[in-house]
Copies of this chain bind each other. A is one copy, B any other.
Amino acid sequence: MATERDGAVGLGDVLSVVRTHGPLTRADVALRTGLGRSTVALRLEALAERDLIRPAEGRPSTGGRPASTFAFNPSAGVVLAVELAATNAHLAVTDLDGTVLEAADSAIAIADGPSTVLAIVERLGGELLRALGGRRRRRPLAVGIGVPGPVEYATGRPVSPPIMPGWDGYDIVGKLAAAFDAPVLVDNGVNLMALAEHADRWQQADNLLFVKAGTGIGCAIVAGGRIFRGSQGAAGEIGHIAVRDHDDLCVCGNVGCLEAVVGTVALVRGARARGLEIDGPRDLVELVKRHDPVAVSLTRDSGRVFGEVLAALVNALNPGVVVLGGELATAEPFSAGLRELVYQRAAPLASQHLQIVPSQLGDRAGTRGAAMVAIEHALDVAALAA
């Protein structure tokens, strides 16, 4: 409950309504926050001092002189957004609206461990920030980073991440906070992609499932606009769920794991066994696009197997929307096979209004989500400290 204990009460609320609904007059802000007009004036002044809001064009008045209005100022600072995948890193510097100002990609090997990989992030991030030149403040207000494995959310440390040797328990926050002199938010990359897709297109969906099908298999559950993390931050680790009628040995030591059957590594191996001469998953996707019957058939089967597991998740969670991301999601036979099995196996009540859609943000979903959490954190801190 809000009480008038200190001078900052309502600051976050004022910032929030101006950001969401601005430009607004003082009277608009008072109406939307329930704060008194004198308090609103003080809060707006404090936010203007921090450059977070600025005077906007006067709105057409119904008579008399136009009232002054205030708008959020997305140029008050920048954030650095990072997505680390198994073999590459995406980085972006955005303003406080999430608009990308500078961006870069780099090949990495996540298995090289945190020292090597984060040195690349520091170097590349530093270059992007310097590239802003005199236009912006070069110190980011916050850094958001997604990694390809489970993260203990409270500390930002990876926990037993299967494809990240050397990263278990590593203090990513400490390392990057020192490098960029800014607060650092770490999360599982799939969670960040899910948040970005939800914010971008599916804000009205209370329950959204984001599934990623590529080298790694994962999912994220968005409920009421927030990530469902589970007890150890491991919710969504669906790659080792057992699938029917398959006994392939998985790297985890079990047999019949989803990832061992439908991941791109398994798919490429299966394609080679069927005589296709391909180097990696991109070649396979390419063959699929050229309607190679073997490639199409294998990819569709892979989607069917994934679809059976997804049907189980749809029954258990009854999401309104399933967003498909990752390399395989771009292959039409994969999503066709997946849909086929979901609609065959999910309970009618859970599937009758279900939408299964491809990711809209594609390979930018991760950095967009990372920027989002960095911005939210930066504005929270600004509101508290003002």
Q: Within the complex, what minimum Cβ distance (angstroms) separates A7 from chain B?
A: 16
Assess whether A207 is in contact with B234, with CB atoms less than 8 Å apart: no
Assess whether B1 is in contact with A230, with CB atoms less than 8 Å apart: no
Q: Using an 8 Å CB-CB cutoff, how does the interface string of A134-163 with B read, 1 for contact, 0 for none? A: 000000000000000010000000011000
Residues of A145-185 contacting chain B, CB below 8 A = 150, 159-160
Assess whether B206 is in contact with A231, with CB atoms less than 8 Å apart: yes
**Interface assignment of A33: CB less than 8 Å from any CB of chain B:** yes
List the B side residues contacting A245 at CB < 8 Å.
244
Checking B160, B238, B348 against A349 with a beta-carbon cut-off of 8 angstroms, the contacting residue is: B160
Max chain B C-beta neighbours (<10 A), residue from A3, A236, A312: A312
Assess whether A345 is in contact with B1, with CB atoms less than 8 Å apart: no
**Interface assignment of A84: CB less than 8 Å from any CB of chain B:** no
List the B side residues contacting A316 at CB < 8 Å.
219, 221, 235-238, 241, 313, 316-317
Q: Within the complex, what minimum Cβ distance (angstroms) separates A68 from chain B?
A: 24
List the B side residues contacting A56 at CB < 8 Å.
none
**Interface assignment of A34: CB less than 8 Å from any CB of chain B:** yes
List the B side residues contacting A223 at CB < 8 Å.
223, 228
Q: Within the complex, what minimum Cβ distance (angstroms) separates A289 from chain B?
A: 31
State the copy count for this chain.
Answer: 2
Q: Within the complex, what minimum Cβ distance (angstroms) separates A306 from chain B?
A: 13
The CA-CA distance from A333 to B5 in the complex, in Å, is 58
Assess whether A318 is in contact with B5, with CB atoms less than 8 Å apart: no
Checking B10, B221, B240 against A1 with a beta-carbon cut-off of 8 angstroms, the contacting residue is: B10
**Interface assignment of A320: CB less than 8 Å from any CB of chain B:** yes
Q: Within the complex, what minimum Cβ distance (angstroms) separates A383 from chain B?
A: 13
Assess whether A237 is in contact with B318, with CB atoms less than 8 Å apart: yes
Checking B230, B308, B348 against A317 with a beta-carbon cut-off of 8 angstroms, the contacting residue is: B230
Residues of A1-36 contacting chain B, CB below 8 A = 1-3, 5, 10, 13, 33-35
- Known A-B contacts A235-B317, A318-B235; the reply to A244 vs B241 at CB < 8 A is no
**Interface assignment of A117: CB less than 8 Å from any CB of chain B:** no
Assess whether B311 is in contact with A242, with CB atoms less than 8 Å apart: yes
Q: Within the complex, what minimum Cβ distance (angstroms) separates A4 from chain B?
A: 9
Q: Within the complex, what minimum Cβ distance (angstroms) separates A342 from chain B?
A: 12
**Interface assignment of A48: CB less than 8 Å from any CB of chain B:** no
- Known A-B contacts A238-B315, A254-B345; the reply to A350 vs B244 at CB < 8 A is no
Q: Using an 8 Å CB-CB cutoff, how does the interface string of A93-115 with B read, 1 for contact, 0 for none? A: 00000000000000000000000
Q: Using an 8 Å CB-CB cutoff, how does the interface string of A243-287 with B read, 1 for contact, 0 for none? A: 111000000101010000000000000000000000000000000
Assess whether B207 is in contact with A230, with CB atoms less than 8 Å apart: yes
Assess whether A150 is in contact with B349, with CB atoms less than 8 Å apart: yes
Extra inter-chain contacts (18) besides given A230-B319, A240-B345, CB under 8 Å = A1-B13, A1-B35, A150-B349, A160-B348, A221-B317, A228-B317, A230-B318, A232-B353, A234-B350, A235-B317, A237-B347, A237-B349, A237-B350, A238-B312, A241-B316, A242-B311, A242-B345, A313-B316
Listed A/B pairs (24) with beta-carbon separation below 8 Å: A1-B2, A1-B33, A3-B34, A5-B34, A160-B349, A206-B231, A219-B316, A221-B317, A230-B318, A230-B350, A231-B353, A231-B354, A232-B352, A233-B318, A234-B349, A234-B350, A235-B316, A235-B318, A237-B350, A238-B312, A241-B345, A242-B244, A242-B308, A244-B256
